[in-house]
Amino acid sequence: MNGVHDLGGQRGHGPILIEKHEPVFQTAWEGRVYALMGLARRRGLFNLDEMRRTIEGMAPAEYLRASYYERWLTALEKLVEEKSGWTGPEPPPPLARAEPLPRFKVRDKVRARNRHPRGHTRLPRYARGKQGVVELVHGPFLLPDLNAHGLGRRPEPVYTVRFTSQELWGDDGRAGESTSIDLWESYLVGTRFRT
């Protein structure tokens, strides 16, 4: 979803406020929320992708106003409601396919797809349509786009793809800067050339 959470490349959020010697949790309730989220997830009430999908579903103004753990609290309340019929841990459904072999190799040139799905994705907007080079090959990991919506557990290779600053930001890009992003295979298309 092209949500407010997809912050990469935005301006106008102000200076970075750096607090020296901040506590692990600012208040006692933050610690409770952190622990509850982790425990409920590990017990199988929901998965990490569902958690992210729920946080990202917050209205933009509310998302930006809320503190980090307020977002978690709001999402956890929603997830508990969504899963009100939950009766106990079940074995995870089978994988949607066998674990695949990677299509791309290190140094392959790839292009991130230009897509704007309604649902959850981990392909940041600033990388869409941009060309980069495969730097590392990992996984396979479950595709969040499906797993976040209970649509299946599809393992896919994940690639760390390096994009130059000029490719990402055009006229405002700078030589000697790059960003590497971890992208699932179906976010990418191959191009004909290798570096």
Partner 1 sequence: MSHDDLSEIEARVLALESLLVEKGLVTSEEVDQVVYRFEHDIGPLLGARVVARAWTDPKFKQRLLADGSAAIAELGIAIPDLHLEVVENLAGLHNLVVCTLCSCYPWFVLGLPPVWYKSAPYRSRAVLEPRAVLREFGVELPESTEVKVWDSSADLRYLVLPARPPGTEGWTEEELVAIVDRDSMIGTALPQVPDKVVP
> For binding to partner 1 (CB under 8 A), which residues are involved?
5-11, 13-19, 22, 24-27, 29, 31-36, 38-40, 43, 45, 52, 55, 64, 68, 70, 73, 76-77, 80, 86, 122-124, 126, 136, 138-139, 141, 158, 160, 162, 168-169, 172, 174, 176-184
Q: State how far Cα 125 lies from the chain centre.
A: 11
CB of 12 to partner 1, least distance (A): 8
To 10 degrees, the CA torsion angle through 111, 178, 159, 46?
Answer: -100
CB of 74 to partner 1, least distance (A): 9
Enter the tokens of residue 135.
């730097």
To 10 degrees, the CA torsion angle through 41, 42, 43, 49?
Answer: 40
CB of 107 to partner 1, least distance (A): 16
Q: Are 103 and 157 in contact (CB under 8 A)?
A: yes
CB of 128 to partner 1, least distance (A): 13
Q: Indicate the residue among 108 and 112 with the shorter CB distance to partner 1.
A: 112
Distance, in Å, from the CA atom of 156 to the CA atom of 116, rounded to the nearest integer, reads 20
